[in-house]
Structure 1
Amino acid sequence: MKRILSQLLNLPDVAVESSLEEGSVLILSVRKKTKSAVCPQCGKKSEHLHQNQNYLVKDLPIGDKEVILNVNRRRFKCKTCRKTFNEKLDFVGARKTYTHRYAENIVKQLISSNVSNVAENNGLTDEEVNA
């Protein structure tokens, strides 16, 4: 089942570890498949895991289910420059609570509608859509 959900999710190098259905919401716990990350300071690869940090990210719906990703963003420690850093996740921006493709979908909806309608149809506030 995890493999099928990973394929449905269609995010490169991301695996679904577990799923939880709460009414009309599907929560998928996800992680990157790689065991290392590249240090942004010195460019060296690090496998030295420093910390795990989970946070929730809104993604495109699957069928009639709202999808929330419980992302495990790992923190690594570089043995070369001794700095800690977060792994880079290609599908979500730094400090964002939604995926890039979710944001693109909202923008596409705005082209043929207005802020209030898009907000109402997606369970968002006008301010969230404007951001």
Structure 2
Amino acid sequence: MFEEILNFWTHKPVEISIIDDRIFVKLEAKDKSAICPRCGCESHKLHQNHQHLVQDLDWNGKAVALRINSRQFKWDNCSKSFPETLEIKPFRRSYTKRYALDIVERVLASNILAVSEQTGMSEYQIQHILNDVGELLNCSKAKKPKEIRNR
């Protein structure tokens, strides 16, 4: 049931615990391999594991934190290790993409200060999320409209 609620293509929940007003969901990758970004070959050779705690959308009035195992693989042809791509969250961020989009929607409906008070996040953190989503949507590279001049 919780797998349908989370709706992740690449990961499945393997353990769920509720502590106070927080739901912790341990996720496991469905695929046991990763694609090397250098050569495009598939690797099954696990090199390292890193645990991440990632903020997701609230569910039923409770904050949801995802425990994700981020794996690094090694490919013999390149002789380099590489991290698997996590579609759930932006690279080096501690929140899911859908959580970031929710923050943007909240800011658009009100303002950064109000969202900061609602979520307990600092205004700086919210601004950082807005910048990340802007880059994700390529808004930062959008050209300004040309000025029309009367002759």
Short-chain TM bin:
over 0.9
- Given that 2:58 and 2:64 are in contact with CA atoms closer than 8 Å, whether structure 1 keeps it comes out as yes
Shift of 1:51: 1.1
Q: Provide the rounded CA distance (Å) in 2 between the counterparts of 1:128 and 1:31.
A: 28
Q: Provide the rounded CA distance (Å) in 1 between the counterparts of 2:2 and 2:44.
A: 27
Match of 1:56 in 2: 53
Match of 1:41 in 2: 38
Q: Tell me which moved more, 99-108 or 117-126.
A: 117-126
Alignment of 1:19-98 (within 5 A): 19-98=16-95
Shift of 1:67: 0.5
Q: Provide the rounded CA distance (Å) in 2 between the counterparts of 1:80 and 1:64.
A: 49
TM-score w.r.t. structure 1 length?
0.93
Corresponding residue to 1:102 among 99, 102, 109? 99
Corresponding residue to 1:10 among 7, 29, 32? 7
TM-score w.r.t. structure 2 length?
0.82
Q: Provide the rounded CA distance (Å) in 2 between the counterparts of 1:75 and 1:16.
A: 20
Instruction: Determine if the alignment matches structure 1 residue 125 to structure 2 residue 140.
Output: no
Give unmatched runs, 5+ long, in structure 1. Answer: none
Q: Provide the rounded CA distance (Å) in 1 between the counterparts of 2:77 and 2:29.
A: 23
Greater relative contact order (Cα 8 A, min sep 6): structure 1 or 2? 1
Match of 2:132 in 1: none
Identity %: 34
Shift of 1:104: 0.3
Q: Provide the rounded CA distance (Å) in 2 between the counterparts of 1:85 and 1:29.
A: 22
Match of 2:109 in 1: 112
Give unmatched runs, 5+ long, in structure 2. Answer: 129-151
